[in-house]
């Protein structure tokens, strides 16, 4: 029997043959280490590879998506909030949406939040039916070579990110001394004897070193249902004031208790009025809580027609001007431990014109 192309297509559609083995890379790494920067390097250098990007952002406002250099052909899916809930309520659906797309997608890259233990995501790929449709290629762990140390920010998540990394990328080498880099290499090798380590500045790395490398060992991960593999368990509710939007959807009961983002909370602020630049800088240097570890935003200042991309990571912050892509508005997220939302909102409101 001879088939026309259309008949063949129709038959394939009724058979619903899945696209098997889509390669998946997971980018993990602590807050501000350079994950989005690395993702942008991948998107800029991928040539004609069609990449689907899934970004799981901590905080209620999507800042990263506005900073990604994706083209129309790429697909960017976003999800905010607690990683465990996101996996159950959103990540799997998002992966299926990519797999079911009619246009060709060659590769999937997932950026986790900086406070996520990557294990639940790894298990989602290796321990559910996604195992048949995807091929987990590698876990990339980005490390801020200037500020990471053996205390790993007292963060269980930051430590786990290293332990699960197939490749550890020591980023921000421009800010770290050779001694510090050696110290970090020793630390990583202590944690993971056979770790592959790369050094980068602004996430610049030849893509064949990180994509299509087939490094995730498939058999060492065994799915552990109904368990989150966290050492500590926290009541989910104390965080709700910071994550109202992320938690509006329905949850399964067993989600009411688990590690909440390693003790980190986010405070979001968005308003359709501009800041006075001097007041805002005074807020940053004099008034803002020292417990803020990371902040990012798209800022509108009364004396400038440009938008300002604001990045704060540890002790450093940057404001880079470029063109507005939509009507001006202030959107900023602060991440840290023990943040007082009310106080921060009130201080930020005082910076408005
Ligand atoms: N000096 C220097 N700065 C860097 C380098 N890589 C990234 N940065 C800066 O570090 C800040 C944080 O980078 P991101 O890529 O947004 O970090 P991230 O890991 O995605 O942050 P979260 O999503 O908040 O966890 C930004 O201001 C970057 O421009 C680097 O190699 N050197």
Report the pLDDT value the prediction gives residue 208, as an integer from 0 to 100.
Answer: 95
CB neighbour list of residue 175: distance below 8 Å, 6 or more residues apart: 145, 146
Q: Could you tell me if 288 and 194 lie in one domain?
A: no
Q: Is residue 95 part of a domain?
A: yes
Say if pTM beats, i.e. exceeds, 0.90: no
Quick one: tokens of 44? Answer: 């800029």
CB atoms within 10 A of CB 44: 13
Which ligand 1 atom sits nearest the alpha carbon of residue 172?
31
> Measured from the CB, is residue 69 less than 6 Å from ligand 1?
no
- Can you tell me the distance from the alpha carbon of 340 to that of 353, in angstroms, rounded to the nearest whole number? 23
Ordered DSSP codes for 209-261: GTSS---S-SSS----TT----SS--BGGGGGGG-TTTT-S---GGGGBS--G
Residue nearest to atom 3 of ligand 1 (CA): 172
What's residue 15's pLDDT? 58
Among 209, 225, 245, the domain-final residue is 209
Instruction: Clarify whether residues 34 and 131 are in a common domain.
Output: yes
172 pocket-lining for ligand 1 (C-beta < 6 Å) = yes
312, with CB counted inside 10 A (0-12, 13-18, 19+), is: buried
Instruction: Indicate whether 39 and 177 sit together in one domain.
Output: yes
Q: Same domain for 190 and 280?
A: no
Is 163 contained in some domain? yes
Asked whether 174 lines ligand 1 (CB < 6 A), one says yes
Average pLDDT over residues 2-29: 65
Residue 204 has pLDDT above 80, yes or no: yes
Residues 6+ apart with CB under 8 A from 68: 36, 39, 40, 43, 53, 55, 76
Ligand 1, atom 25, lies closest to the CA of 31
CATH of the domain at 149: 3.40.50.300
How is 97-140 classified by DSSP, letter by letter? Answer: HHHT-SS---EEEEEPPTT--SHHHHHHHHSSTHHHHEEEEEEE
Closest atom, ligand 1, to C-alpha of 312 = 27
- How confident is residue 68, by pLDDT bands cut at 50, 70 and 90? confident
> Stretch 99-126: mean pLDDT, rounded?
88
Q: What is the pLDDT of residue 331?
A: 96
Would residue 295 count as lying in a domain? yes
**CB of 318 closer than 6 A to ligand 1?**
yes
Give a yes or no: residue 263 inside a domain: no
Q: Distances in Å between the alpha carbon of 55 and those of 128, 134, 338? A: 20, 17, 25
pLDDT, residue 101, reads: 83
CATH number of the domain bearing residue 287: 3.30.1220.10
Given 209, 236, 264, which residue is the final one in a domain? 209
pLDDT confidence band for 260 (50 / 70 / 90) = low
Per DSSP, the three-state class of 89 is helix
* Residue 98 belongs to a domain: yes
Dihedral of CA atoms 210, 213, 217, 221 in degrees, nearest 10, equals 50
Instruction: Give residue 296 CA to ligand 1 midpoint distance, Å.
Output: 10
* Range(s) of the domain holding residue 145: 20-209
Whether residues 200 and 278 share a domain: the answer is no
In a domain, 232, yes or no: no
Are residues 285 and 147 part of one domain? no
Question: Do 276 and 201 fall within a single domain?
Answer: no
| Domains: count for the chain | 2
Q: What is the pLDDT of residue 226?
A: 41
Where among 193, 209, 225 does a domain terminate?
209
Atom number in ligand 1 closest to CA 174: 32
Interval between CA 223 and ligand 1 midpoint (Å): 32
The answer to whether residue 176 sits within a structural domain is yes
Q: Within a 10 A sphere around the Cβ of 223, how many other Cβ atoms?
A: 12
Residues 64 and 195 in one domain: yes
Q: How many CB atoms lie within 10 A of CB 278?
A: 11
243 lines ligand 1 (CB under 6 A): no
Identify whether 115 is part of a domain.
yes
Q: Is residue 185 located within the same domain as residue 283?
A: no
């Amino acid at each position: 029997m001879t088939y026309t192309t259309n008949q063949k297509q129709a038959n394939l559609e009724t058979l619903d043959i899945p696209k098997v083995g889509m390669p998946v890379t997971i980018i993990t790494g602590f807050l501000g280490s350079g994950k989005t920067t690395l993702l942008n390097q991948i998107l800029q250098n991928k040539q004609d590879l069609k990449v689907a990007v899934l970004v799981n952002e901590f905080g209620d406002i999507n800042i990263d998506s506005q900073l990604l250099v994706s083209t129309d052909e790429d697909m960017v899916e976003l999800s905010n909030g607690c990683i465990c809930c996101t996996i159950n309520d959103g990540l799997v659906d998002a992966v299926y949406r990519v797999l079911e797309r009619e246009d060709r997608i060659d590769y999937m890259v997932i950026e986790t939040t900086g406070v996520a233990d990557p294990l639940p995501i790894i298990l989602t790929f290796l321990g559910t039916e996604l195992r048949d449709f995807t091929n987990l290629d590698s876990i990339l762990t980005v490390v801020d070579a200037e500020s990471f140390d053996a205390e790993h920010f007292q963060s269980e998540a930051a430590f786990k990110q290293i332990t699960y990394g197939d490749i550890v990328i020591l980023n921000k080498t421009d800010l770290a001394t050779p001694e510090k880099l050696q110290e970090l290499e020793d630390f990583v090798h202590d944690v993971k004897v056979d770790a592959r380590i790369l050094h980068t500045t602004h996430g610049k790395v030849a893509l064949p070193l990180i994509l299509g490398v087939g490094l995730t060992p498939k058999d060492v991960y065994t799915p552990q249902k109904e368990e989150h593999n966290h050492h500590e368990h926290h009541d989910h509710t104390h965080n709700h004031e910071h994550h109202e939007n992320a938690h509006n959807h329905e949850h399964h009961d067993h989600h009411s208790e688990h590690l909440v983002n390693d003790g980190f909370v986010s405070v979001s602020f968005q308003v359709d009025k501009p800041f006075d630049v001097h007041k805002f800088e005074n807020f940053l240097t004099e008034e803002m809580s020292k417990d803020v570890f990371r902040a990012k935003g798209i800022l509108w200042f009364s004396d400038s027609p440009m938008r300002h991309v604001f990045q704060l990571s540890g002790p450093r912050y940057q404001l880079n001007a470029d063109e507005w892509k939509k009507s001006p508005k202030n959107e900023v997220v602060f991440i840290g431990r023990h943040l007082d939302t009310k106080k921060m909102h009130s201080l930020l409101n005082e910076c408005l014109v």
